[in-house]
């Protein structure tokens, strides 16, 4: 009885609204884009209209999730984190994620070391992936818009690419506003374009992908930008994983869908650069090149040039026409290759070629670029 007022007060304080959940996710996206972790008050005010612009279904999704979390809060006296998850569960998830992260990083590092031991590192092929979407439903169903993969090796640079627009079919009722908003920010396709033109049949899409990956006898590791922080539900990496999963599941490849490996390119950049520096220093102790100090450092260096490179290379026909290469998946995967080349193809043994190791575009002066490499 004595405790009652205190508990009620506590519950009141921890009660979540749909809007709060929306803001938490919104903030996650900001942080993922390199912004400060803490939102300023005016930034929250700026986010409010976006909440109003959401479709009713979408807002309801946030409200329902908030309610579910609130029920948990009221029914138990456990500790909760800022998004209302029970700390025990969060800690377990965090631990699992840490474990997965460690395994993944070991896997990348080991793969590179094995290749180096066999003197095959220069010719090892890396697969860079980029996707965009029209919309994703609260239940997790995602509607892809564009898709691109590049094959890259240190010796050849970006030597092969595939890209296509995906026909997403009929979009859910009430999604129009959000679809438009996403389009403006990420791919510039018209909503009317959703159905036409574009690759519609997922079997056809899968055949294209398999043909492109041939002669690889198993699905390789794909690298894309973004990180996999468990609290950033909508990071680029998480979305790319969802889109690939959708494509595989549409053709009933459930087992392959589960085993898909789509990792952060920051981790590849970090291990590849550092291994290359290590090898170089063994041969030439005078070598001035320094390794990255951390994956965060690799990420910062990746960001420095990747966007600029994407903007100065060739994109797909559509994005060339509308002059929006920064939003083109094909231009992005090429940009990823150039970025990796800039930091990792450092030795003079690499014969750097425009369009393969750095942008071919005359939008920036290639002389300046060449100087960066010398």
User: Residue 178's CB: how many other CB atoms inside 10 A?
Assistant: 20
Nearer to Zn ion, 28 or 315 (CB): 315
The structure tokens listed for 234 are: 């909508």
Burial environment of residue 79 by CB neighbours within 10 A (0 to 12, 13 to 18, 19 or more): exposed
Residue of 328, 333, 340, 345 that binds Zn ion (CB under 5 A): 328
Is 325 among the residues that bind Zn ion (CB under 5 A)?
no
User: What b-and-e string marks burial along 231-248, b requiring 16 or more CB atoms within 10 Å of the CB?
Assistant: bbeebbbbbbbbbbbbbb
Stretch touching Zn ion by CB under 5 A, among 89-97, 151-159, 201-209, 328-336: 328-336
Residue of 58, 101, 246, 319 that binds Zn ion (CB under 5 A): 319
Nearer to Zn ion, 21 or 328 (CB): 328
- Enumerate residues 176-215 that contact Zn ion by CB under 5 A: none
Task: Compute the distance between CA of residue 292 and CA of residue 273 in angstroms, rounded to an integer.
Answer: 7
Q: For tokens 């004595």, name the residue.
A: 2
Is 246 among the residues that bind Zn ion (CB under 5 A)?
no
Nearer to Zn ion, 318 or 343 (CB): 318
- Residue 190 CB partners (closer than 8 Å, separation 6+): 183
Residue of 219, 316, 345, 346 that binds Zn ion (CB under 5 A): 316
Please name every residue paired with 160 in a beta bridge, in sequence order, or none if there are none: 151
Q: What DSSP assignment string belongs to 218-274?
A: S---EEESS---TT-TT-HHHHHHHHHHHHHHHTT-HHHHHH--EEEHHHHHHHHHH
Stretch touching Zn ion by CB under 5 A, among 198-206, 209-217, 309-317, 332-340: 309-317
Radius of gyration of the chain (CA): 23
Nearer to Zn ion, 84 or 315 (CB): 315
CB 14 within 8 Å of CB 84: yes
As measured in angstroms, the least distance from the Cβ of 322 to Zn ion is 9
As measured in angstroms, the least distance from the Cβ of 338 to Zn ion is 17
Stretch touching Zn ion by CB under 5 A, among 134-142, 214-222, 299-307, 312-320: 312-320
Stretch touching Zn ion by CB under 5 A, among 75-83, 104-112, 270-278, 316-324: 316-324
Nearer to Zn ion, 70 or 361 (CB): 361
As measured in angstroms, the least distance from the Cβ of 128 to Zn ion is 14
Stretch touching Zn ion by CB under 5 A, among 78-86, 114-122, 260-268, 315-323: 315-323
Residue 372's alpha-carbon distances to 36, 73, 206, 342, in angstroms, are 30, 55, 39, 8
The footprint of Zn ion on this chain (CB under 5 A) covers a number of residues equal to: 4
Nearer to Zn ion, 133 or 273 (CB): 133
Nearer to Zn ion, 73 or 148 (CB): 148
Nearer to Zn ion, 266 or 308 (CB): 308
- Cα torsion angle, 302, 306, 307, 308, sign: positive
Displacement of CA 112 from its chain's centroid (Å): 22
Q: For tokens 């575009």, name the residue.
A: 361
As measured in angstroms, the least distance from the Cβ of 331 to Zn ion is 7
The structure tokens listed for 179 are: 């679809």
Residue ranges in contact with Zn ion by CB under 5 A: 315-316, 319, 328
């Amino acid at each position: 009885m004595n405790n009652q007022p205190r508990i009620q007060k506590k519950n009141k304080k921890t009660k979540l609204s749909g809007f709060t959940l929306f803001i938490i996710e919104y903030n996650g996206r900001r942080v993922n884009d390199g912004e400060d972790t803490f939102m300023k008050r005016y930034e929250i005010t700026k986010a409010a209209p976006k909440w109003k612009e959401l479709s009713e279904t979408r807002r309801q999704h946030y409200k329902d999730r908030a309610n579910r979390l609130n029920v948990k809060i009221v029914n138990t006296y456990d500790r909760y984190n800022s998004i209302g998850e029970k700390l025990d569960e969060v800690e377990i998830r965090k631990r699992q994620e840490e474990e997965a992260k460690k395994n993944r990083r070991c896997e990348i590092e080991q793969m590179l070391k094995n290749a180096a031991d066999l003197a095959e590192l220069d010719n090892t092929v890396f697969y860079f992936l980029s996707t965009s979407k029209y919309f994703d439903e609260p239940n997790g169903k995602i509607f892809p818009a564009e898709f691109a993969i590049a094959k890259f090796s240190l010796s050849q640079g970006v030597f092969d690419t595939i890209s296509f627009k995906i026909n997403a079919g009929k979009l859910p009722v009430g999604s129009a506003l959000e679809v438009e908003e996403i389009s403006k920010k990420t791919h510039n396709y018209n909503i009317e374009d959703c159905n036409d033109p574009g690759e519609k049949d997922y079997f056809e899409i899968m055949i294209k992908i398999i043909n492109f990956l041939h002669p690889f006898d198993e699905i390789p590791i794909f690298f894309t930008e973004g990180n996999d922080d468990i609290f950033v539900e909508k990071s680029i990496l998480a979305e790319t994983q969802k889109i690939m999963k959708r494509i595989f599941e549409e053709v009933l490849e459930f087992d392959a869908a589960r085993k898909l490996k789509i990792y952060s390119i920051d981790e590849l950049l970090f291990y590849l650069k550092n291994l290359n520096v290590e090898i170089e220093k063994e041969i030439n102790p005078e070598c001035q090149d320094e390794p990255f100090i951390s994956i965060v450092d690799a990420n910062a260096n990746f960001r420095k040039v990747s966007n600029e490179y994407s903007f100065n290379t060739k994109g797909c026909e559509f994005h060339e026409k509308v002059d929006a290469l920064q939003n083109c998946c094909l231009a992005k995967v090429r940009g990823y290759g150039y970025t990796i080349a800039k930091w990792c193809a450092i030795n003079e043994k690499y014969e750097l070629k425009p369009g393969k190791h750095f942008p071919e575009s005359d939008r920036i002066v290639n002389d300046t670029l060449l100087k960066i490499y010398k």
